[in-house]
Structure 1
Amino acid sequence: MIQKPRGTQDLFLNEINEIIELETILKTIAKNYNFQEIRTPIFEAKELFVRSVGTTSDVVSKEMYEFVDKKNRQFVLRPEGTAPVVRALIENKLYAPEFIPFKTFYIGPMFRYERPQVGRNRQFNQFGVEVFGPNNIEQDLELINFAYAITKKIGIEKNIQIDLNFLVTGIRREKYISDLKKYLETFKNLCNDCTQRLSLNPLRVLDCKIDGIKFLDAPNMQKYLNSEDELYFSKIVQKLKESEINVKISSKLVRGLDYYTGLIFEVKYNSEILGSQDTIIAGGRYNNLVSELGGPNMPAAGFALGIERILIILKNLKKDLKTNKGLDLYTIALSEKGMELNYKVLRTLREQNVIVDTDLMNRSFKSAFKQAEKLDAKWIIIFGDEEFTTQKVTLKNQKNGEQIMVDVKDIFEIIQKNK
């Protein structure tokens, strides 16, 4: 038997319904913040991610799914969503004044060749937002509040913590990296990844899941900030605390992608449910990425969220996202004429956005009622010869047992009034 690839999932029935409901919530919040959806290709040129994410990142160095097409061009299945959005911005000239600020969001599958574990698959779904143009505290606060609004909407805000850091830049960054490297060289027997990163990109060492806990006394990045960045960062922290959002300054937070500059943040879920994968939302500023990929000098910021990790949390908490539970109506036809009337009613109601299903398996009367219960139908109608002749039907309310005799033409009105 052929099986699905390791690290992938088949999603159906309740699982797919939960994803759809979560995506609906995310899209609604995005529209409340005036973010419009964008859809980019699932595969892109390999160079896009090498230039943006960074050759020393785990994503590029060992996690991308790569392939060569028939013309010997190198492509990859997209491992993250920001670089494709930036590429689309540049290619379609969405940086023109009439589009700025360009506020957009995406939802879709990403692919990374990783060791599958709780909250981490090789194909996973990601929701992300990006904004291009503004470079100020207000925009950064809007993004973090957006992320917090998501946790509040799904009812997990009391168990989250937002870790913040401000990446040092310019000459001060060079000084910090020099001091960090000297500090890290005092450790022996670092893991293979850390050993390589130490010479190529020492900041990545702080992000190590194996040795990261050892570096308690690493140089504090906050002490290397210039006065302007320090003031900027302190104002953001102050504003968030005034909003009673649980924030923590984490000087070793660096994120796993090289394009970040300035403010970065991670929303962590305080529980053992996800194990080491406790970050559910993460992002920050990447003010240089647009220009580095061939576009104009344009500030940008954003964040991404793992759909599957959120669903794991909600399942553990037994939280139900479904806003539309079950069917509005289930119908049972007992005769040929009943089936004719049933067909007409079904077509009419579905055109009016009523969620309705019918028994097409020729079940017994008792089994058909059980199926209606299984599908959580609010109402049941039985169609037979008499209903065909009189054009009147009995609507049975499955919740309270009430029965209402109505004209066929009035079925929709009764269902709508009693929703």
Structure 2
Amino acid sequence: MSAAGDGRQMHLALYLSEVGSQLGAWRHSLAGSTAPLDWRFYKDMAQQAEAACLDMIFLADKLSVDDVYGGDFAATVSARALPQHAEPLSVMASLVGATSQIGLAATVSATYSQPYTTARMLATIDHLSGGRVGWNVVTSVSDGEARNYGQAQHLGHDPRYDKAQEFVALVKKLWDSWEDDWLVRDRANGIYGDPSKLHRVDHDGAWFQVRGPLNVPRPPQGHPVQIQAGVSSNFERTALEQAEVIFAVQPTLEKARDFYARFKQQLQTVGRSPDSLKVLPGIVPIVGQTRQDALDLQRELNDSVLPQAALTFMSASMNHDLAQYELHAPVPDIAARITGSKGRFQAVLQKALDEKLTLAQLGVWYAQSLSFFAPIGTAEEVADQLITWHSERACDGFVVLPAIMPLGANDFLQQVVPVLQQRGAFRTGYPGSTLRETLGLQVPANQFAT
């Protein structure tokens, strides 16, 4: 299949994980054995992704070891290969010197981070990288995370999105507190900078009080590219107002196409161009030399799944303990009890109810692709599926979550990407030096500049 004839090329991001996104993959004989937080792994993946001209690498985050399932972390540590989470800003900062063009995107919790510290760290990395930083703003999900930050319970759904909106607006205001032309460096008259180009933010809000200005000049991109992930109504509201990239969960072409059309139309109702936000659904591809090879690997990975591997993850993400239900009994209707990630798991639970799945069956199903789209086949067949989604305007590109690492990433970067490039569906070089230029996004105006 050829690429669409409208000149659009897809965007691609690589989700970095040491063990892969399929929750049984660590048990497979082809899985890597990377030591936790081995910088050489991150450097190698980043450099391979850059050689393939991907837009960015992406690192998720969580602020606790999942301990909602059964009230402790025993099942998490025993059943899943990656209970630890590297601090993502540190990882991305470490990759600045190992890369030169690819975007570096890291997750930040608006619930448990301070705006001033976040603005300062992201501005610093954006400067050091020459304008290649993206930040994925999340609201966090579980009581386990809350207890690590001195709170008994996680904030409710509405309050944490209200806090996130204020958090993001304040961080951007801090970045804008320096105008771009502040530097004078007049040696003869002893004037280094123009103080009229620095501004206090004097923010006194419901959640934060910050005087400002920031003590780091405005980032090269103006604002690092803002990413948001989710599917709830609150997520959609904030994404329409603030986000520039959406990391979406869309398991089918039909749902993805409907979401894309509706969201792009809604952007115009809030005064934004449809091109000002890129929709990138996650995918969990499995690539083989033949289709049967890919299907065999998929079966082997699925056979390796332990139900608890998914149920520990789901419990923390839902902020609801699934260990209280019988493992081999039908999944009860608990949608109203979810206080964590709502939109994503309401659809997952509805599937279980419709198909009368047991909790164990649901766990095994969810562990296979985390409810993302999972293209399977040869490199040409996987490329065909991605081109179909893109040409039918179901997305602007994809976040690639390899099922097994490093094999899955290598297969995608070395086999699928060249096919996409040959068909004109993906670039063969970077269009500029910043992540904004790669994504085709404008530099935002400084709100303090006259």
Shared fold per TM-score greater than 0.5: no
- TM-score under structure 2 length normalisation: 0.25
Q: Which has the larger radius of gyration?
A: 1
Which structure features the higher share of strand residues? 1
TM-score, normalised relative to structure 1 = 0.26
